[in-house]
């Protein structure tokens, strides 16, 4: 094959142009765009659950269902409480009758009684949406109906959701469900209508034991944020890389 000097130069120029073309796809952001990209630095909602304080009364679940108009008797809920009983044979028994809407009043789990001498640990763990920093449920939405607000809460647009259920499958924590009345995806949003007005979420207000607390993670003087910053807290299913923003005190390895 012959290659003249002219051909070589032409080919070299073409190749260089083709190589730098994708670079032009990047663009410089304006100051305002950078501010949005970094999110409002003043507010990021976070949540702290103290599992040692939880007694499994379920008043949080009752308050949540009434506050957020979740059908009271349908088997769906934005938050729930799990009971763990770990026995000496290293078996973990978990239940959450009616999502603990009526609390835990029966020492048995699904009719199975436990000898107190055989129980090594037994405790309650409230669960709710983690408002992840990298929410997989938002990534999978095909229509842009679910999104993360600048203060970190993941919301669902009831007018735009088509009810395909991808997000319900995507959430590793199983907090999303199909709303039987509105026929859209539904989940906990930290009572966005309440926290926007300076109130606490219904579950936080209803809890008599202070097991649930909400805070602004960007405010270092917030007493709850200080606990998260300075004490030993854990998150559920850290390995999924979703960066959950609900922190737990007293989490056990048996909790899933």
Partner 1 sequence: MNNHIWRPLYVVLVIIAFFLVLRYFLVPQDFGVHGVNFTYGYHRAGDINDWQAVPIKYRGREFCNECHPDNAAANASSKHAAIQCENCHGPAFDHPEAPEKLILDTSRDLCLRCHAALHTPSSQRSLIKGIDPDTHNPAIPCSDCHNPHKPDLEDMQ
How many Cβ atoms from other residues are within 10 Å of residue 255's Cβ?
A: 18
184 binds partner 1 (CB under 8 A): no
Residue 176 binds to partner 1 (criterion: CB under 8 A): no
Binding residues for partner 1 restricted to 102-121, rule: CB under 8 A: 102-107, 114, 116, 119, 121
- Which residues in 25-64 contact partner 1 (CB under 8 A)? 36-39, 51-59, 62-63
Pairing of strands 119-127, 154-156: unpaired
Cβ closer to partner 1: 11 or 143?
A: 143
CA distance 73 to 194: 24
Answer yes or no whether residue 192 interacts with partner 1 by CB under 8 A.
Answer: yes
Binding range to partner 1, per CB under 8 A, among 13-21, 156-164, 224-232, 235-243: 156-164
Number of residues binding to partner 1, judged by CB under 8 A: 61
Residue placing its CB nearer to partner 1 in the complex, 7 or 52: 52
Q: Which of 123, 173, 177, 248 binds partner 1 (CB under 8 A)?
A: 123
Contact with partner 1 (CB under 8 A): which of 27, 110, 159, 253? 159
What is the spatial distance between Cα 241 and Cα 134, in angstroms, rounded to a whole number? 8
| Residue position matching structure tokens 């909790």 | 255
Part in contact with partner 1 (CB under 8 A); list of ranges 90-98, 131-139, 180-188, 234-242 = 131-139
Strand partners, 85: 93, 122
Out of 135, 224, 242, 246, the residue judged to bind partner 1 by CB under 8 A:
135
Residue 108 beta carbon to partner 1: minimum distance, rounded to whole angstroms: 10
Does residue 67 bind partner 1 (CB under 8 A)?
A: yes
Which residues are CB-neighbours of 51 under 8 A, at least 6 positions away? 123, 124, 125, 126, 211, 248, 249, 250, 251, 252
CB of residue 56 to partner 1, shortest distance in Å? 6
Q: Which of 77, 194, 228, 245 binds partner 1 (CB under 8 A)?
A: 194
243 binds partner 1 (CB under 8 A): no
Contact with partner 1 (CB under 8 A) among 71, 174, 180, 208 = 208
3-state secondary structure (DSSP) of residue 136: helix
Q: How far apart (Å, rounded) are the C-alpha atoms in residues 172 and 246?
A: 14
Cβ burial 206-238 (10 Å sphere, 16+ → b, else e) = bbeeebbbbbbbbeeebebbebbeeeebebbee
d(CA 179, CA 45): 24
Contact 81, 96 (CB under 8 A): yes
Q: Which helix (H) or strand (E) covers residue 93, if one does?
A: strand 92-95
Contacts to partner 1 by CB under 8 A = 36-39, 51-59, 62-63, 66-68, 83, 102-107, 114, 116, 119, 121-124, 134-135, 138-139, 144-150, 155, 157-160, 189, 192-194, 196-197, 199, 202, 205-206, 208-210
């Amino acid at each position: 094959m012959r290659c003249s000097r002219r051909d070589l130069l032409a080919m070299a120029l073409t190749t260089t142009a083709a190589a730098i073309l994708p670079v032009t796809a990047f663009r410089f952001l304006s100051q305002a765009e950078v501010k949005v990209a970094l999110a409002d630095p003043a507010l990021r909602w976070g949540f702290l659950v103290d599992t040692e304080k939880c007694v499994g009364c379920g008043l949080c679940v009752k308050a949540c269902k009434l506050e957020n108009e979740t059908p009271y008797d349908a088997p769906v809920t934005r938050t729930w409480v799990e009971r763990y009983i770990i026995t000496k044979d290293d078996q973990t028994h978990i239940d959450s009758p009616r999502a603990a809407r009526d609390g835990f009043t029966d020492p048995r789990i699904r009719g199975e009684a436990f000898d107190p001498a055989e129980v090594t640990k037994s405790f309650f763990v409230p669960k709710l949406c983690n408002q992840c920093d990298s929410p997989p449920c938002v990534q999978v939405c095909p229509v842009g109906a679910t999104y993360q607000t600048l203060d970190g809460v993941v919301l669902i647009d009831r007018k735009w959701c088509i009810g395909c259920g991808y997000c319900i499958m995507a959430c590793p924590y199983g907090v999303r469900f199909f709303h039987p009345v509105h026929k859209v995806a539904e989940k906990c949003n930290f009572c966005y209508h309440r926290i926007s007005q300076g109130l606490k979420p219904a579950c936080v207000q209803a809890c008599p034991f202070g097991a649930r607390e909400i805070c602004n993670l960007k405010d270092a003087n917030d007493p709850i944020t200080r606990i998260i910053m300075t004490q030993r807290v854990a998150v559920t299913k850290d390995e999924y890389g979703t960066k959950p923003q609900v922190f737990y005190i007293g989490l056990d390895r048996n909790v899933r």
